[in-house]
Chain A
Amino acid sequence: MPSDFFIPDPEGQVPSAEGYFGAFGGKFIPEALVAAVDEVAVEYDKAKHDPEFARELDELLVNYTGRPSALTEVPRFAEHAGGARVFLKREDLNHTGSHKINNVLGQALLTRRMGKTRVIAETGAGQHGVATATACALFGLECTIYMGEVDTRRQALNVARMRMLGAEVVAVKSGSRTLKDAINEAFRDWVANVDRTHYLFGTVAGPHPFPAMVRDFHRVIGVEARRQLLERAGRLPDAAIACVGGGSNAIGLFHAFLPDASVRLVGCEPAGHGVETGEHAATLTAGEPGILHGSRSYVLQDDEGQITEPYSISAGLDYPGIGPEHSYLKDTGRAEYRAVTDDAAMQALRLLSRTEGIIPAIESAHALAGALEVGRELGPEGLLVVNLSGRGDKDMDTAARYFGLYDTDAEVAADEADIAEIEGDAK
C-alpha cells in the first residue's frame, strides 16, 4: 500500500547527487564526519524505497502524531487581512506542539535502522529538542540536546519538558549562546561520538542529505494542505505563507505547491528590531552566500566571512543561516521572502489569540504577520494558507513580559535584569 503521509519528493528533482540545489548546498564537513554523513545518505535512500519504512512512519504519524493535521479557516482574523480568506495549517496540533515531530520520527526510525543507540540534536525554541526527546523516549534511545544558554532562559518550559522526557539538556555558553552555537556544539559532540550517535538535525540546512531528507519528512504538510484546500475552498491558494528560520516548516508547506505556478510561496524572516538596525536574523534579505554548518547558502556574515550574531525575539528563528533550497528558491524567484519585525509578529500573535482563540508560537506569528500584509495586498478575492508551525505555550513568559500581562512587576524587573546580564555577556 502506498503511503498516505510519507511522500518523498519524486526522483529526478533537485538536489543533484552531490546535494546541490543550483549553486547552494553540498557537503562542507570535516573528514571525520564523511563516513557518518554518507551512511545517513545511503540508509535514507534505502528507507525511501522500502515500503516497510513508509508503513512504520505512517503508523506513527497517524496514531502517535495525530495526522492529518487540521486546516482551520480563521474569518475573524482574516478581517484584518484585507478580507482575504485565510486558512491555517495546524501543525501546532501535532503531538509535541509543532511540525518538528514529522522529521524527528522519520530520523528516529532511521537511527534504529543504522543500529545507533544515541541521538544528539540542537534546539533553538526547544520545539525540535522536545520532539527529539519525545522520540528518544518512545524508541528507548539515549538523548542529548544542545541549546544556547540565552534560549534555555527564554524557553525554560521546554527545557523542563525535555528533562521530564529523560533527555540531557546542555546549555551552550559559547558565541552568541543561541541556535548557531548549539549546532556548533552538537557537531563537536558528533565528531567525537559518531560511532554510536546519530545527529538528528532539526532543519533543512546542514550537509547533504539533511536538507533533502528533512524536507521529505515535512512534505506531508503541503501535501495535506493542498488536498484540504481543494476540498474546502475548491481551488488552489493565491499564496502559501510560512516563517523561516532554518526553513523546515516553510519547505514542508511550499514543496507540494512548487509545480503550481499560480501559488505564491512567501517566507517570512525575522527582522528583529528592523533590518536597518542590524539587529535581525533576516538571512535571505540581508545575507550573502557563504558556508555555515556544512552547506553553501545565504549567511549573515561580515566582509571577511565571520558569521555575525543574529537577533530575533523568537528563539526558533534566531539563526544566521538558512536551508540551501530556500536560497535556490529565492534566486530562481520561485519563492519570495519578506522580513517581519518582532513588533509585527507580537501584534499578530495577540490578534490571532483574541480573534480565533489560538495562541501561536512566536515563530509562527511571523508568518501570520506576513499573511496580514499579503492579504491586504490581495484584497477580498485572495485565498491564503498559512503554516501555523507551532503552539505558543512555550512563549507565554516572553509574551507576558512584552504585553505586561504579569501582576507582579517587581519580579518581572528582577528577572529582566538576569536576562539582560546573560545577553550582555553573550555580546
Chain B
Amino acid sequence: MSGNIQLLTDTLAAARAEGRSVLIAYLPAGFPTVDGGIEAVTAAFDGGADVVEVGLPHSDPVLDGPVIQTADDIALRGGVRIADVMRTVREAHAATGKPVLVMTYWNPIDRYGVERFTAELAEAGGAGAILPDLPVQESALWREHAEKHGLATVFVVAPSSKDERLAQITAAGSGFVYAASLMGVTGTRESVGAQAQDLVERTRATGTGLPVCVGLGVSNAAQAAEVAGFADGVIVGSAFVKRMLDAPDHPAGVEAVRALAADLAEGVRGRA
C-alpha cells in the first residue's frame, strides 16, 4: 500500500487555491497515553488543523525545548513503542481522512530498519516524515525507501542555511519545506521575528515548487496570521503540548487542543 504523499500535496494545493495558509499541528504519540494522544490528534483536526505531525518520542530530543521534552518523557515512561506511533497515525488518518506525518529523530528509524519503518508508515496511511537531525547529505537511504512507499520527506531549513544549501535541500525534499523561524529549539516565543520571512523568500528564490511552512515559536492566532501573510503554512507544536500539560485533566486538555486549533485556524485565514 502506498503512503499518502499525494493527499498532503493536494491539501496544501487546495489551501493555496483558497488563498490561505495551512495549519500544521504537532503532538507526540503516547502523550499522555496512546489512546489519549490519539484523542488529542483527532481534536486538533476537529478544531481545524489541516495536517498533523505525530511525534515519535525519543530519549534524547536535542532539538526540543522543555515543553516537548516533558511530553516525550511522559510518553516514554508510559512505555510508548513504534507500534503505538503507527496506531496513532492509522487511527487519526482513518477518523479524519487528513494527512498525518511522523516527526522524530533518526536513531529510532535507523535502529528499527528504514524499509520496515517506511513500509509500516505507508500501510498505516501516513503521508511522510520530518527528521530534523538527518541532514540532506546523509538522507539518500531514507529517501529511496520513502519514495518507494509514497511518503514525503520534509526537510528543515534554517536562517543560517546558505543559498546553495537551500537549493540542495529543496531539490531533495518533497511534500513541503519546514522553515525554522529562528535559531533555537522548539518552544513558544513572544514574537516570530523577521528572520522567518527572509528565509521563506530565500527558499522560494531557489525556484522550488514546494510549499514553505514556518515553525518554531508560533503559539497564538495573531502570530499565525502574521506568518500566514508570507508562508504557505504555519506549524505549531509546543503551544498544543503546553495546553495539554496545563489542563486540569485529560478531557480538558483535549478540549484545549481543539480550541487552540480553532483559534489558529482563524489565524491562518488572516482572521486574528
- Cβ contact within 8 Å between A192 and B107: no
Bound CA–CA A31/B81 (angstroms)? 27
- Cβ contact within 8 Å between A291 and B106: yes
> B81: shortest Cβ distance to chain A, in Å?
6
- A31/B135 contact (C-beta < 8 A), A188-B62, A192-B183, A194-B183 known: yes
| A174 at interface, CB cutoff 8 A | yes
Contacts of A293 in B (CB 8 A): 60, 62
B108: contacting residue among A26, A30, A34, A306, CB under 8 A:
A306
- Cβ contact within 8 Å between A305 and B160: no
Choose the segment among B25-33, B40-48, B93-101, B109-117 that binds chain A (4+ C-beta atoms closer than 8 Å): B109-117
- A27/B111 contact (C-beta < 8 A), A34-B165, A188-B185 known: no
- Cβ contact within 8 Å between A306 and B110: no
- Cβ contact within 8 Å between A306 and B59: yes
| A137 at interface, CB cutoff 8 A | no
Contacts of A194 in B (CB 8 A): 160, 183
Contacts of B183 in A (CB 8 A): 32, 191-195
| A276 at interface, CB cutoff 8 A | no
B112: contacting residue among A188, A294, A304, CB under 8 A:
A304
| A29 at interface, CB cutoff 8 A | yes
Contacts of A306 in B (CB 8 A): 58-59, 76, 108
| A290 at interface, CB cutoff 8 A | yes
- Cβ contact within 8 Å between B158 and A31: yes
Interface residue tally on A, bucketed by range: 35 or more
- Cβ contact within 8 Å between A192 and B106: no
| B161 at interface, CB cutoff 8 A | yes
Bound CA–CA A299/B185 (angstroms)? 24
> B75: shortest Cβ distance to chain A, in Å?
11
Bound CA–CA A57/B107 (angstroms)? 37
| B171 at interface, CB cutoff 8 A | no
| A381 at interface, CB cutoff 8 A | no
B161 — nearest CB in chain A belongs to which residue?
A31
- Cβ contact within 8 Å between B60 and A30: no
> A214: shortest Cβ distance to chain B, in Å?
19
> A162: shortest Cβ distance to chain B, in Å?
23
Contacts of B73 in A (CB 8 A): 174
Residues of A within 8 A of B (CB): 18, 26-36, 174-175, 180, 184, 187-188, 191-195, 288, 290-294, 299, 301, 303-308
The 5 closest A-B pairs by CB, nearest first: A305-B111, A305-B108, A32-B158, A192-B184, A305-B107
Q: List 8 A-B contacts (CB under 8 A).
A: A29-B135, A34-B158, A174-B69, A184-B61, A188-B65, A194-B160, A288-B111, A307-B60
Residues of B within 8 A of A (CB): 58-63, 65, 69, 73, 76, 81-82, 105-112, 132-135, 137-138, 155-162, 165, 169, 180, 183-185
